[in-house]
Amino acid sequence: MCYFGVTGMVKEFDNFLKAALRRIPKCHLLLETDAPYFRARQVSASTPAFIGEVALEVSRIRWETMEEVLDFTSANTRILYQM
């Protein structure tokens, strides 16, 4: 199975990337911080503490609630890592 991980760089997505994010099926989407490498421009380094900000931006782009995004991405993480 193929998964797509979205990092804090989601805040920098242009319209093309936002449209692509909307097309990713829920069952193939993961949230990541990839600390400290994939940071938003506004911060000097990424940390796992930013996962909520990633989820919030993904929810805005996909027109879903943050709770929905956290629910299905958490489920995908458990499936991927067999937790």
Where in the chain are the domains? Answer: 4-80
Residues of the chain above pLDDT 70, percent: 86
Q: For residue 27, how many C-alpha atoms fall within 13 Å in the half-sphere facing its CB?
A: 2
Mean pLDDT of 18-40: 85
Report pLDDT for 83. 78
Report pLDDT for 46. 67
In eight-state DSSP terms, residue 9 is G
| pLDDT tens digits, 30-66 | 999 875 566 555 666 667 788 899 999 999 999 999 9
Q: What is the pTM of this model?
A: 0.86
Report pLDDT for 49. 80
